[in-house]
């Protein structure tokens, strides 16, 4: 199974949009696996992803789905969603009917059956896996949380900060972000002084924060 911080293997996958080379060059992407086409929870997820597709693209992030169904099944399901629900699925879906991608990414968990689990991989423009989520078949994903996590990762990379729980609505510091802890005794003393002067917010030298 691929782990956080590792690079995703280069691969060419067959999708509803033809062959695609992964990772995407110079872009973030979300690769999400679903158990099967023509299932209720997965259908709600695909609609939710599509409804937010423009928000993902604003973050320079592509979406790509995956299951072990064949391409024709994906195509028919996408047609059904458009015909019955009025939603056009614009992102590609990998047809991993031979299970090659699923094996590389650890998407089949024997204790949960032979289908791909409900997994999410967020990959950065360098091809590095930055976030992994797993859900059981009976629980659908929160797509807004995936968007939030990508925004948080991008801010963390750009500003060199950490992101608190429930950001941007954290119970302690609101929409502020966490300054990395001091690395030396001198830095700690200087950090405390800045907090006392009100130059930055903080509860202690190891828990300081600021606005962005």
Asked whether residue 131 carries a pLDDT value surpassing 80, the answer given is yes
- Catalytic residue at 42? yes
Residue-wise pLDDT for 132-167, tens only, equals: 999 988 999 999 999 999 999 999 999 999 999 999
pLDDT for 79 equals 98
Q: Is residue 212 very low, low, confident or very high in pLDDT (cuts 50, 70, 90)?
A: very high
User: CA 29 to CA 120: how far, in whole Å?
Assistant: 10
User: CA 23 to CA 19: how far, in whole Å?
Assistant: 13
Of 105, 86, 84, give the one whose Cα is nearest residue 31. Answer: 105
Residue-wise pLDDT for 11-58, tens only, equals: 999 999 999 999 998 999 999 999 999 999 999 999 999 999 999 999
Q: Which of 42, 177, 195, 208 is catalytic?
A: 42
User: CA 39 to CA 30: how far, in whole Å?
Assistant: 21
Tokens representing 58 are 């604003």
Residue-wise pLDDT for 76-111, tens only, equals: 999 999 999 999 999 999 999 988 999 989 888 888
Domains and CATH numbers, the chain: 11-141 (3.40.30.10), 160-212 (3.30.1020.10)
- Does the pTM surpass 0.85? The reply is yes
User: CA 132 to CA 120: how far, in whole Å?
Assistant: 6
């Amino acid at each position: 199974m691929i782990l956080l911080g590792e690079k995703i293997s280069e691969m060419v996958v067959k999708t509803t949009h033809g062959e695609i080379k992964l990772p995407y060059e110079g872009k973030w992407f979300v690769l999400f696996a679903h158990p099967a086409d023509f299932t209720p929870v997965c259908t709600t997820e695909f609609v939710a992803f599509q409804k937010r597709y423009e928000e993902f693209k604003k973050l320079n992030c592509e979406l790509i789905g995956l299951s072990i169904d064949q391409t024709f099944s994906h195509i028919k399901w996408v047609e059904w969603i458009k015909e019955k629900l009025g939603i056009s699925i614009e992102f590609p879906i990998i047809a991993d009917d031979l299970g090659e991608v699923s094996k590389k990414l650890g998407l089949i968990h024997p204790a949960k059956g032979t289908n791909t689990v409900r997994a999410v991989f967020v990959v950065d423009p360098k091809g590095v896996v930055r976030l992994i989520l797993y859900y059981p078949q009976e629980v659908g994903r929160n797509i807004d949380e995936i968007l939030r996590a990508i925004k948080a990762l991008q801010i963390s990379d750009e500003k060199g900060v950490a992101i608190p729980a429930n950001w941007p609505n954290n119970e302690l510091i609101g929409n502020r972000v966490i300054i990395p802890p001091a690395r030396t005794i001198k830095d700690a003393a200087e950090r405390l002084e800045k907090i006392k002067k009100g130059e930055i917010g903080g509860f202690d030298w190891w828990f300081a924060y600021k606005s962005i």
